[in-house]
A and B are shown apart, each in its own frame.
Chain A
Amino acid sequence: MNVEIDTEKIDIGFLLKLKGDVDMNTSSEVRNAFAEVFRQGATGMKALLINLSQVRYMDSSGIATLVEAMQNCMKKGARLRLFELSPPVRNVFELARLANVFEIYPTINDARTGL
């Protein structure tokens, strides 16, 4: 099973949409996409918004990739915000007790608030 990653440059930084399974087999593709975003947005990026509505499965390697991205955002003074978490993603966040670690929003409009 593959993962599809759509990257879009937006006024406040970048918007990524992940679709499919983010697991040990595919998380390196997601990590590479994040690396490209951080390369392109080396200066002036306010936020990285990630749409997780179409993620069918996420394991601990996917979570690790998001944690790394969040840490990179913090180093650059940017915000990492997740929105529209699919039920499987909510499930794994709940198990990992990460709901209070990430900034999580119901919609993209909510995620853009205050940026």
Chain B
Amino acid sequence: MTETITLTVPSHPKYLYVIRSALYPIVIEAGFLKKESGQIVLAVDEACSNIIKYAYEGDHTKTITMNVRMDPGKLTIELKDSGRKPDVSKIVPRKLDEIRPGGLGTHFMATVFDKIEYDTTNDAGTVLTLMKEKR
């Protein structure tokens, strides 16, 4: 049976904690192990941080909506924003042998999730879809 949970928070970094706190038990409930669940929460948190930084350019008055869909054996998380659309061709994880601050968020997303899609076809904003199969 498919179950979907939706949460909308303001685009302020102080609400990232709310997303993390809501998502962790959902992921555990979906059957992922604790360590894997922590990594999923981290990757989603990084995606939300990127929305605040790049899509909203620090504007804290907008919103981020997270849809979590649990299908048998699969977790799908959608993050919707109404901000500036990314140039998807330029989103690449940086090389980890460069020891420097910043740029790890996309690496975390690419490492943790099996599939990542950016939908920029809406009039405003982006829908980022993160998918992970249960093994």
A residues 48-79 near B (Cβ < 8 Å) are 57, 59-61, 63-65, 67-68
* Interface locus among A9-17, A38-46, A95-103: A95-103
B residues 30-67 near A (Cβ < 8 Å) are 35, 38-39, 42, 45-46, 49, 52-53
B104 within 8 A of partner (CB): yes
Interface on chain B toward A: helix, strand, loop, or mixed SS?
helix
- Kindly state the separation between the CA atoms of A25 and B104 in the bound complex, as whole angstroms: 17
State whether B16 touches A67 (Cβ < 8 A): no
State whether A95 touches B42 (Cβ < 8 A): yes
A residues 1-36 near B (Cβ < 8 Å) are 1, 21, 23-25
Among B12, B16, B96, B105, the most chain A Cβ lie within 10 Å of the Cβ of: B16
Task: A88-B38, A91-B42 given; name 14 further pairs at CB < 8 Å.
Answer: A23-B49, A25-B16, A25-B17, A57-B20, A59-B42, A59-B45, A60-B108, A64-B101, A64-B102, A67-B101, A68-B101, A91-B38, A96-B104, A96-B108
Q: By the criterion of a CB under 8 Å from any partner CB, how many residues of chain A are at the interface?
A: 22
B70 to chain A, nearest CB (A): 22
Total contacts A-B at CB 8 Å: 60
- Select from chain B the residue with minimum beta-carbon distance to A102: B99
Choose among B14, B39, B49, B96 the residue that contacts A61 (Cβ–Cβ < 8 A).
Answer: B49
- Kindly state the separation between the CA atoms of A105 and B42 in the bound complex, as whole angstroms: 24
- Kindly state the separation between the CA atoms of A1 and B101 in the bound complex, as whole angstroms: 23
- Select from chain A the residue with minimum beta-carbon distance to B102: A64
Hey, which chain A residues are within 8 Å of B45, CB to CB?
23, 59
- Kindly state the separation between the CA atoms of A57 and B96 in the bound complex, as whole angstroms: 21
- Kindly state the separation between the CA atoms of A23 and B15 in the bound complex, as whole angstroms: 11
Choose among A24, A63, A67, A91 the residue that contacts B39 (Cβ–Cβ < 8 A).
Answer: A91
B10 to chain A, nearest CB (A): 12
Hey, which chain A residues are within 8 Å of B16, CB to CB?
23-25
A92 within 8 A of partner (CB): yes
State whether B49 touches A59 (Cβ < 8 A): yes
State whether A67 touches B17 (Cβ < 8 A): no
Hey, which chain B residues are within 8 Å of A25, CB to CB?
12-14, 16-17
B69 within 8 A of partner (CB): no
B107 within 8 A of partner (CB): yes
